[in-house]
A = this chain, B = another copy of it.
Amino acid sequence: MTRTRFTAQERHGQLVTAALQAFALGGYAGTTTDQVARLAGVSQPYVIRLFGSKQELFLATVRHAGDQIEMKWRAAAAEEPTLRGLGHAYKELLAERELLIVLLHGFGAAEDPAIGEAVRSCYGNLYTVVRELTGATAEEARDFFAMGMLITVLGAMRVLGPDAVEPQPWMADILGTLPRPDTD
């Protein structure tokens, strides 16, 4: 059985992708490096070898998530450089909830200084990018991010998104007010 070998760079990417899935589900402390390893089809010690530590793996994952979101927004702004335009991109982000939820977990783990630093830097960058792309005022940007956080949290709670639970009355109530995610 001749194993397919990848370059360290390729594995790095694969592992970050796997880590995104895993950490989005379990959070930083709640996810094991072995889960990530299995998801990527690699042995656990190799994950540690490539990233040095679990924390470094998480940091890489958070940075990756930030970069991905930034990319999506830049792409969206190329078509419609307004908050409304970026809001549409949020649709897709919610469909693959992992990017947003991993950031959410980062916020939760911000007690750890290294993680806190990474997560603030990531969020600050996104804020700056959004304002640059759309020319929004500080108030508008704030509202944009506030709504984004609400949506992210609703997604994490399974009120919103692909694997949402049976909707309760109050959920329908909130969902009804959201910028319709199903129409164009």
A residues with CB within 8 A of B: 25-30, 101, 104-105, 107-111, 116, 119-120, 123-124, 127-128, 138-139, 141-143, 145-147, 149-150, 152-153, 156-159, 165, 168, 170-171, 173-174, 176-178
A159 to B145, CA, bound (A): 14
B168/A124 in contact, CB under 8 A: yes
With A29-B26, A29-B29, A157-B119 in contact, is A174–B142 under 8 Å at CB? yes
With A105-B108, A145-B150 in contact, is A27–B29 under 8 Å at CB? yes
B27/A108 in contact, CB under 8 A: yes
- A168 to chain B: closest residue by CB: B124
A124/B171 in contact, CB under 8 A: yes
Chain B residue numbers with a CB within 8 Å of A158 are 110, 116, 120
13 contacts between A and B (CB under 8 A): A25-B111, A101-B108, A110-B156, A116-B157, A120-B157, A120-B165, A127-B170, A127-B173, A142-B178, A146-B149, A149-B149, A149-B150, A149-B152
B25/A120 in contact, CB under 8 A: no
Among B146, B173, B178, point to the contact of A150 (Cβ < 8 A).
B146
Chain B residue numbers with a CB within 8 Å of A101 are 108
